[in-house]
Structure 1
């Protein structure tokens, strides 16, 4: 099976996809006029906007759910794997992907908000919704939802469960099967409570686990502060092929940095659009900005802290997939153990072992419960498209049981196979979603210009798709019909905005036209 998966990965994860992610991130960075920099202040302030809508969740809850999904094994094992295959230079390309990916994330999240729906009393949005409403391709939206269910509900849970099982076995000598069954039981308690329970768990658990991990990382880095400049220099010189030790690894460093960077941040995959579609905001661009900020937390804080600890302690090997070992500082060790060994070296073996076991358990567990929500949203979409009432209930239950079963499967299988399957899923989602958001980028950029216009007038931005000429944004059209003049915008203000939109919103170029 491993040979088949690796064969497929050669084509799906070709250089074309690697450079597609980079190119799209650059296009959106330029088109949005560096949104990830010029609206950074808004990213922070919007986190604390209150939500009084019972049908949706707050921006902060959506961010917490998204970070719960993003902050997982990709930030620890993914970083270590990138270094082991591409050398320290892979970290630099993770940074590049993170910066460009923030603009990509803004576009896809804004689209998710524009084309969201209200299903069974809850807000739902995501990739299939904007494919269906934005591109008017019902058949393709159903295919997209099906792929997402397979990837998120079957493929991805395995790698999180596998990481937890291996770490717990190494630290506490608990059999992987027992860990898998216990994980499945914990998950069942939470996921059968619905999106509100998932959001509540994420809201409290994610900030705690992220701050605890970063606090330990910072403490360790402070103790070795003098080594940080040298490590940063090593990362940059290796990335630009200026370091003799890692000469010849440029292509691998770029590929691994982008691949693991995308898996960690999920920018461009469309998998983080579902939590954001559930949030209640007055303008789609607001949630786009909040989620762009999550890329910074994921890549520049968590991933960087992990990478610096590994590099400062030297607890890593560099062994390209096709070639002889370049660095063997940690002979025979798998990347799963690099971070644990780094912490053990700096403090104590016992602390490092237990701390990483607890951290990975929390990181991966929150990721697993958000996977359920994403899968459930795609199932709800398919049920809505195909008018499946009675049968839909059975499909939902079968899918939930299937996801719990894959958690157990991932816990007891080999890490090599699990990571190969995960990479396959990432690649499949990348091709589908990146092309889609390129085709729909004009809509998201129009919404951004509307947001900028209202901010320049001193208004709290609210969204009216009719004024902007955006079609099929039925949720917002219905909202506007129920409340023609939002509380945050006066009648005079709405008239001014409409006039300014017509005057200042020039046609947005299509990325394919140049």
Structure 2
């Protein structure tokens, strides 16, 4: 069984697949004229604009839900595994896929807004909805929804809970099963409250913990400020095979950097699009830009913070060039790749502090990620069950996700990551095909947004004017703020 899982994973993340992801990000960047640079101000200003409504959440709440999914194990354990398998150069390719992937995140989140719907009093959107409405292919939408359910409820929660359990055992000697019981008890209470509870919890925890984590990273970077140029040079030279020590890991650096980068920032996976579709905005491009900015926050800030802490302190291992070769770097012998690298890095500066700090940070980061996974799974159940009673399927998906979360705490990290990577790959490849085919409506939205901004207007979306069909929600849309003022 393990051999089969490894084979499927190798197919989903083979070299052609990795280079295709980079290429698609580059194409979208060119088509949008590098909006991730031109509109960087709007990305961050729009995060704090708009309010929630009875049916939807605010831009900040949607951002928080998306960041809850993005900022998790990938930012701590994922960075460590990228460095182990690909060397320091993998960090550069994480940056590359984040920069290029911001355009992919824009496309999918804009499309989620264009083709969103109001269902049972709540806004729902995401790849399954825009695939069916935009492409007119219901079977394709169903395929994504099923893949998302398998990934979000069954395959990916275990990666997050496994990392939490490993960090808690390392820091506080808490048995894995105790961590598992605690996680499913608290998680069960929150997901019973629905999208509003999830949004409010994420809006509080994610910014709070991210700021504390970034402060710790800033302190360590400040204490090693003279090492910054040399570390950046090491990352860049290793990324292109020019470093004498890590040059042999060039292929692994690209593959693992892209794979862990996508796992962390989820650009192109379609997960962030679900939260984007729930936002209350007057124009789809607004939420597309917000979600593009969230990729920067995730990878260029949080992942980079972890990478610099690990590389500055030298607290990591790196595999040999060929199978069976001794590790190129073996600073942490007999240490499983994962959050222990970050814990050791902080401990080297603040003895006995890093282990507990990373364990608590990971608890909050990974826990909110599992919350976001549930919301995505719930949205796809809602898509599949339209017009039918969904109470039993919703209950089943809760139980499956809680079971997968507990199971993840008691299995090995390697198996957890293999299953998680398969779940990620399933979603990525269905969604990427869809957003490539649906690029035109998203690009029309961007052009319309820019034209209205140039006229000094607060952009409002009219799909009929742009010739976009099946955007049924927007055909009768009226800004709730304007309704209140009448």
Same fold (TM over 0.5): yes
Counterpart-to-counterpart distance in 2, 1:174 and 1:133 = 48
- CA RMSD, 1 decimal: 1.4
Residue 231 of structure 1 and its aligned partner are, at CA, apart by 0.6
8 Å CA contact retained: 2:50, 2:280: no
Tell me the residue number matched to 1:340.
343
Tell me the residue number matched to 1:402.
400
1:413-467, Cα deviation, whole Å (9 max, x unpaired): 1111110111111111111011110000011001100001101111000000000
Counterpart-to-counterpart distance in 2, 1:171 and 1:322 = 32
Tell me the residue number matched to 1:354.
356
Residue 351 of structure 1 and its aligned partner are, at CA, apart by 0.7
Residue number among 416, 419, 439 corresponding to 1:441 in the alignment: 439
SS in 2 for 1:133: helix
Residue number among 355, 365, 380 corresponding to 1:363 in the alignment: 365
Tell me the residue number matched to 1:478.
476
Indicate the structure (1 or 2) with the bigger Cα radius of gyration: 1
1:57-80, Cα deviation, whole Å (9 max, x unpaired): 000011111111111000011000
Counterpart-to-counterpart distance in 2, 1:346 and 1:221 = 11
Counterpart-to-counterpart distance in 1, 2:395 and 2:81 = 35
Tell me the residue number matched to 1:504.
none
Counterpart-to-counterpart distance in 1, 2:12 and 2:185 = 34
SS in 2 for 1:275: helix
Residue 171 of structure 1 and its aligned partner are, at CA, apart by 1.6
Correspondence 1:271-310 to 2 at 5 A: 271-310=271-310
Correspondence 1:228-267 to 2 at 5 A: 228-267=228-267
SS in 2 for 1:57: coil
Could you state the TM-score of these two structures normalised by the residue count of structure 1?
Answer: 0.92
Residue number among 410, 413, 416 corresponding to 2:411 in the alignment: 413
Residue number among 416, 422, 425 corresponding to 2:420 in the alignment: 422
Residue 53 of structure 1 and its aligned partner are, at CA, apart by 2.3
Counterpart-to-counterpart distance in 1, 2:421 and 2:481 = 45
Does residue 322 (structure 1) correspond to residue 323 (structure 2)? The answer is yes
Note closer, same or farther for the CA distance 1:434–1:323 as it changes in structure 2 (3 Å cut): farther
Structure 1: 5+ residue stretches without partners: 489-514
8 Å CA contact retained: 1:17, 1:431: no
Residue 286 of structure 1 and its aligned partner are, at CA, apart by 0.2
SS in 1 for 2:396: helix
Residue 333 of structure 1 and its aligned partner are, at CA, apart by 1.5
Residue 322 of structure 1 and its aligned partner are, at CA, apart by 2.8
Total equivalences in the alignment: 480
Structure 2: 5+ residue stretches without partners: none
Counterpart-to-counterpart distance in 1, 2:228 and 2:314 = 13
Tell me the residue number matched to 2:456.
458
Residue 323 of structure 1 and its aligned partner are, at CA, apart by 4.5
1:466-502, Cα deviation, whole Å (9 max, x unpaired): 00000000000121xx68x9959xxxxxxxxxxxxxx
1:27-85, Cα deviation, whole Å (9 max, x unpaired): 01000011001111111211121315221100001111111111100001100000001
Superposed structure 1 runs of 4+ greater than 3 Å apart: 485-488
Counterpart-to-counterpart distance in 2, 1:374 and 1:430 = 14
Tell me the residue number matched to 2:14.
14
Correspondence 1:37-186 to 2 at 5 A: 37-51=37-51, 53-186=53-186
SS in 2 for 1:118: strand
